[in-house]
Amino acid sequence: MDIFSYSVTMLGTVAFAITAVLASSKQGIALFGACVLGIITAIGGGTIRDIILDVPVFWSLDLNYIWVGLAASIATFIATPFFKRKLIQSLVLYIDGFGASLFAIQGMDKVWDLQFAMPVGPILLGVITAIGGGVTRDVLAGRKTLIMTRELYATPVLLGCILFSILSHIAPEHRATWGTLCTAFIFGIRSAALHWKLSVPDWLMTKTAEEES
C-alpha cells in the first residue's frame, strides 16, 4: 500500500472510531465498551470487504490500525463530556460522511488493483467498505441505521464510486487524482444534504397501503 492510501485508511479509521464513541454517548457507555465499539466500527467495512475478496484482513497485516482506533476512541471518550448534545449529533453525521468518503475510494482502489469482478466489484465493495462500519456501529449502539432512513447516506457513496470507476477507465494513469476528486465529491454531496436537510424523495421510499391512504 502506498503512503497516500495508507494515510487515507488511517484517517478513515480515526473518523469512524470517533463517530462510534460519540454515537453511543447518549445511551451511556463505559470506557471498555467505547473502545470495543470504536475499533469494530473503524475496521468493520474493510474487514467485510477483505473477507469477500478472500485476502488477508488488512488490520491483521498491520496492527497500527487497531492501536489508532483505540487511541481515537479513548481520546473521544475523554472529550465527549465537554460537548453539547446538539453538537455531538452534528459531529457524528459530518465525521461519518468524511470517513465514508475516504473508505469508499480506498476500498475501490484496493479492489481495482486486484481486478476483482470488474467493473461491478470495485463499486459494490467500495460501498460496502464505506458503510459497513457505520451500519455495524448503529446496530451495536442500538441506533436506527442511516441506510434505513431518508438520509442521503449511501447514495452519495454509490455515485462517487461510479464516477471513480468511469474516470479510472477513461484515464487510468490519473487514478490517484480521480480518487481525491471523488472523495471530495462524496463528502461534498453528503455535507450539502446535511446542511440543507436534503433527503430521499417520497417516490423512492417504500410505503404500506395504510400510509398511502
Say what the pLDDT of residue 28 is.
Answer: 87
Percent of the chain with pLDDT over 90: 80
pLDDT above 90 (res 206): no
pLDDT above 70 (res 188): yes
Average pLDDT for 189-198: 96
Average pLDDT for 98-115: 96
Q: Which residue has the cell 487515507?
A: 8
198 half-sphere exposure, CB direction, 13 A CA radius: 12
CA separation for the pair 60, 108 (Å, rounded): 20
One-letter amino acid at 69 equals G
If phi over 0 gives left and psi between -120 and 50 gives alpha, with beta otherwise, what is residue 197?
left
pLDDT above 70 (res 212): no
At residue 153, φ and ψ (nearest 5 deg) are -110, -65
Say what the pLDDT of residue 210 is.
Answer: 54
Average pLDDT for 82-87: 91
What value does the mean pLDDT of the chain take?
A: 93
pLDDT bucket at 1, cuts 50 / 70 / 90: low
Say what the pLDDT of residue 175 is.
Answer: 92
pLDDT in tens, 21-62: 999 988 889 999 999 999 999 999 999 999 999 999 999 999
Say what the pLDDT of residue 116 is.
Answer: 96
pLDDT above 60 (res 81): yes
pLDDT in tens, 127-175: 999 999 999 999 998 888 988 888 999 999 999 999 999 999 999 999 9
Grid cell digits, residue 142: 442500538
DSSP 2: -
pLDDT bucket at 211, cuts 50 / 70 / 90: low
